[in-house]
Amino acid sequence: MTMICLQIGNTDNNLTQLEWSEYCRAIRGICEAHGLVHFCGGSPTDAAWQNYCVCVETDNPVPLRRLIAKRRATHRQESVAWLQGETELV
């Protein structure tokens, strides 16, 4: 299985609070539909910036990547950090 860690942010305050919460929920929903979510969480609620991370294990990252890119564009975001690797138990 492949582990994907996605990181999104709103440090430019391009999104309103409602839009940001919808974006986070959409990203998590896409991940839940395409694999097993191991972690999701974000910056402290009183932080000067907003960020959110989802780590998902999937057997096919290609459709996940396509849908994440589409959602990123829908929410007027320039990028999503995508870290991909094989899960290894130590």
**β strands within the chain, DSSP E:** 2-9, 36-42, 51-58, 81-86
**Cα gap 83→65, rounded to integer Å:** 11
As averages over each run of 10 residues, the pLDDT of the chain (90 residues) reads 95 92 97 97 92 96 97 94 91
Which CATH fold would you assign to the domain 2-86?
A: Alpha-Beta Plaits (3.30.70)
Q: What is the reported pLDDT for 69?
A: 97
